[in-house]
Structure 1
Amino acid sequence: MSPPIVKLFLSVDIIGSTEYKAKNTERNNDKNGEQSWLAFFETFYQDYPEKLNTALTKIGVSTLPQPWKSLGDEIIFQVEVNSHKDIADYLFAFMNASDSAEKYYASKELPIKVKMAAWLAGFPKINAIVNIKNQISEEPDSRFEDYLGPSMDTGFRLKQHATHTRMPISVEIAYVLSSETSFSKPELAKESYFELFFSGEKELKGVLKGIPYPLFYIRRNSEKESLLQKLTKTEKVDLVDVRKYCEHFISEVNDPLVLCKPYFMNDKDPDWQKMPAEHTRENSSSKSSEMNLHLDENENSKGDPDLTSEPIQNLIPSPETLE
């Protein structure tokens, strides 16, 4: 079995892109005849990762997130985290990169803003890393990595609750940020970025068998959001209460193969290395998560029976399940 790892997923999605494209549907006069809005989206896909990398480099983070998926106007990044202290650094840089991007769009008089979400996923006990043969690449051994499992399903549902001023985070991230030791740089703990808010519980379709999921979010700096929270008497939550709530919620789910307190095997703090007993032993639900899936029917017929016994259509969620 592969050693346990934790990955952080960061989703950034453009707000107002449909309206922007609708207002700019005239053709350019260049030889390619491309839509006039295309240049902006090409710039977004190139520039945003650079802004994120720059923000991380400024605070001394050398392991940079890699784009995993682009879904329409959205980019999802992934990065392996080795310590609970890493998460605050990545979120801090993520928020700064988004602020920087929006300032740039405003300077160009572009009516574009972004919304964000973040979640954690542990491998291989709860989720699976799937290596899929790339049928498009001309390289014979080209493969790409995909991620499946309960934490991924939760993340895709959770990001649907993102707004320009509210970044939803998974309960595992809320649990990590509730710890006093979660900030590698003490000054980050004072940032308003890490004031957590709670907007209640909501059932997320297909997640946790219908158990309502806690909607924690980090508020982005916004005068409108501040006024809205005053009107609704929304207070930032006390981190001690967040920790107690997260522990109770994870206990209520009562299934460490679906949700557990996050742990990091390379963390310098032994308290954050502790894994559930269910994760320390082999069982039928913990086959190696690094499966090699061939999308070629002829190759499948010769492949490992463990891989061919389950059709790939059953392993990869259909778009309908993520609506």
Structure 2
Amino acid sequence: MVRLFLSVDMAGSTQFKARFTDGGSWLDTFRTFFTNFPLMLAGQVGFAFLEEGETPSVEVWKVMGDEVIFVATPASAEELVNLLLALLRTMNAYEERYLEDLPLRLKGTAWLADFAGPNIELEIPELSGGESVRAIDFIGPDLDLGFRVTKFARPACLTLSLDVADLVLTADNAGQVALHLIGAEELKGVMFGRPYPILWMLEAGEDFNFMPWEVEQCPHMARATGMPPTPASDIERAIANIRLYLRKMHGVQRPRLELGPPTA
């Protein structure tokens, strides 16, 4: 089984909280985020699958500091694209409604983990409350990679792992999104030190909504500003090159992940 993990983090939260000596001055902002964002995401997911026979479940996996991480199990590449769009739309809507006059922004990351492979799901007995309430954790190299990829996350877009982008390109509704290959950068403990491609996703037809000072401070954002979507062939080539490097230099096979129930 392949699961999708969706991380949403508050950019600028540390400086924002440091403004106040009284925690109550910023507490409501974050209480609202952790309460309302999951509800808004559920609404966007429902809307995205309004004409489908079934709406996939998107649940909160864990909260870490100012970050909330959701988990879902898309059954197809088309479901994957719809879930990514729902998350991106929720981020944009939440910023417009709650963060318009605050120095805070949302940044998101999406990655996949294969639980028929090297990753495991385990129950935490101390946190569980019987069969009705089970505390589940997920551990493995795909989870580690996902948390590393969040380093590339920036406001106003979704950062995708290579596995996610690979499947997005195969989806019948891939035309609803635009992928931008921004560059590559080494991630600690990932790909044996080979630079990992930085992939950002927007809704098709949309531009990067960066603030002027964000562009000034980040070369990746500066490069993305005004950048057209990257041709699918260029992204496919980048993914193929990574697979070739892993196989040729390290004997590691990294085929495209398969969504849906396991095949016999």
> The TM-score by the shorter chain falls in which range?
0.7 to 0.9
1:102 is matched with 95
Structure 1 position 245 matched with structure 2 position 245: no
- Secondary structure of the equivalent of 1:81? coil
2:150 is matched with 159
Structure 1 position 178 matched with structure 2 position 169: yes
For the 8 Å contact 2:88–2:157, the answer to whether it is kept is no
Partner Cα distance (1:66, 1:208) in 2:
29
Partner Cα distance (2:75, 2:163) in 1:
15
Structure 1 position 259 matched with structure 2 position 254: yes
2:139 is matched with 148
Change (3 A) 1:256 1:76: farther
Structure 1 gap ranges (5+)? 28-34, 268-272, 274-279, 281-323
- Aligned pairs, how many? 246
1:56 to 40, 45, 54: 45
Partner Cα distance (1:257, 1:111) in 2:
43
2:103 is matched with 111
Overall identity of the aligned pairs, in %: 27
- Secondary structure of the equivalent of 1:37? helix
Q: Partner letter of residue 41 of structure 1? A: F
Deviations 1:209-234 (A, max 9, x none): 22322221124641656x93477x84
Q: TM-score, normalised by structure 2?
A: 0.82
2:222 is matched with 228
How far is the alpha carbon of 1:265 from its aligned partner? 4.3
For the 8 Å contact 1:15–1:112, the answer to whether it is kept is yes
- Secondary structure of the equivalent of 2:40? helix
For the 8 Å contact 2:6–2:71, the answer to whether it is kept is yes
1:307 is matched with none
Point out the structure with max Rg over C-alpha. 1
Q: TM-score, normalised by structure 1?
A: 0.68
- Secondary structure of the equivalent of 1:154? helix
Change (3 A) 1:66 1:136: closer
- Secondary structure of the equivalent of 2:18? helix
For the 8 Å contact 2:111–2:146, the answer to whether it is kept is yes
Change (3 A) 1:43 1:258: farther
2:17 is matched with 21
How far is the alpha carbon of 1:256 from its aligned partner? 8.8
Q: Single out whichever of 159-168 and 170-179 deviates more from structure 2.
A: 159-168
- Secondary structure of the equivalent of 1:175? helix
